[in-house]
Amino acid sequence: MADEIRRHRGTNDENPPAGADPYLEFADFDLPSYVGPLSFQKLPWLDDAAVAERRPDVAIVGAPFDDAVSHRPGARFGPRAIRAATYHSGSVNSLQLGIQPFEWLDVVDAGDAPVVPSNLERSHEVIRRKVLAVAGSGAVPIVLGGDHSITYPSASAVAAHVAPRRLGVVHFDAHADTAATTWGVLKSHGTPMRRLIESGAVAGRNFVQVGLRGYWPPPETMEWMEANGLRYHFMTEIEERGAEAVVADAIAEALDGPDVIYLSVDIDVIDPGMAPGTGTPEPGGMLTRELLRAIRQIGGAVNLVGMDVVEVAPAYDVSEVTAAAANRCVMEAISAIAARRRDRGEAARPSFDR
């Protein structure tokens, strides 16, 4: 009977299988999303040693750290909210891409980096080590923030992993996050992109920002961005040309030299009317549907080697809409990676035994 149950895993619309014990037939993966332990999409929760042994295709990493924010705190609770923000279980089916991603990719939840409060250096270092460990297993790390400061250790780890190949970055955000310091602090959530470029992890000309708007940064920071060759696309350009054309340019600019991409998504790139649960909301942003389409566009076109989704602060959310958008940013990336591998003729590696 166990074999029969296993065969029916992931097809919860067809459960229970004929003849099964009606009180035992559901695998944990198939139980409703709110039942049982909390992992991303009820995927297996593995420690670093188990990830290294299993060598999954994609691994979720939580980075529940928000000591580096400039305004409203609370993104430390983002990873749990993003994990919880789904009403699906089992082998989900992407209608957008026509693929069941967990039938094609082995995806796991590698748990959280062991951060502690009030210790920025330690927290960034354990995030860097965990992302490096996950990438070293061969998995694409998808990191759930946390404030945007975590992109410095996370993208640095991915850059170190892919070296000597060069890393391009596509960065969705209302804010450039390229300040020299904030109040004299080097590693805040307003500075990670500057640190990535100054450290040499990413070349300025391959650092591409999409969705910038509002009243920050000041002219001297924009001048530093110009001097270092960053490419950026204001929200006004998306209004004028449409997101798809702008994202196509962003892909080409990030891949102008590199052949691999790290994608950093600050959820505040979405208009705060659709994603209020964030620390520094800036009116006039992207539609959720535009961002999800952009992630599919990128995931289908490039070799995505790392990703983060940051700045989800559940305390300011309404009806979990921000956490749901962040969950779907991750799901669209996973589905696009799966579809790209399928279309390139690569073998399927299901997340669960059948």
Q: Which residues are near Mn ion by CB under 5 A?
A: 173-175, 266, 268
Closer Cβ to Mn ion, 30 or 266, answer by number: 266
Closer Cβ to Mn ion, 253 or 266, answer by number? 266
Q: How far is the CB of 111 from Mn ion (least distance, A)?
A: 26
> In the bound complex, what is the minimum distance in angstroms from residue 94's beta carbon to Mn ion?
27
Minimum CB separation from Mn ion for residue 40, in Å?
23
Q: How far apart are CA 28 and CA 88, in angstroms?
A: 13
The distance of closest approach from Cβ of residue 190 to Mn ion in the complex, given in angstroms and rounded to an integer, is: 9
Note whether 287 and 270 are within 8 A (CB).
yes
* Residue placing its CB nearer to Mn ion in the complex, 8 or 175: 175
Closest contact distance (angstroms) between CB of 312 and Mn ion is 11
Query: 128 or 175: whose CB is closer to Mn ion?
Result: 175
Least Å distance between CB 325 and Mn ion? 14
End-to-end alpha carbon distance in the chain: 13
By C-beta, is 189 or 341 nearer to Mn ion?
189
Which of residues 64 and 285 has its CB atom nearest to Mn ion in the complex? 285
Are residues 308 and 142 in contact, defined by beta-carbon separation less than 8 angstroms?
A: yes
DSSP of 234-248: EHHHHHHH-HHHHHH
Residue 111 CB partners (closer than 8 Å, separation 6+): 45, 46, 47, 61, 62
Task: Assess contact for 5 and 27: CB atoms under 8 A.
Answer: yes
Q: Which residue, 63 or 110, is less far from Mn ion as judged by CB?
A: 63
CB 326 within 8 A of CB 267: yes
Q: List alpha helices for the chain, DSSP H.
A: 2-8, 48-54, 78-84, 101-104, 120-136, 151-162, 192-198, 219-227, 235-241, 243-254, 288-301, 321-343
Contact 148, 266 (CB under 8 A): yes
Q: Closest distance between Mn ion and the C-beta of residue 278, in Å?
A: 8
**Nearer Cβ to Mn ion, position 40 or 172?**
172
User: Under a CB-based contact definition with an 8 Å cutoff, are residues 212 and 173 in contact?
Assistant: yes
Distance CA 72, CA 63 (A): 17
Residue 165 CB, shortest distance to Mn ion, in Å, is 28
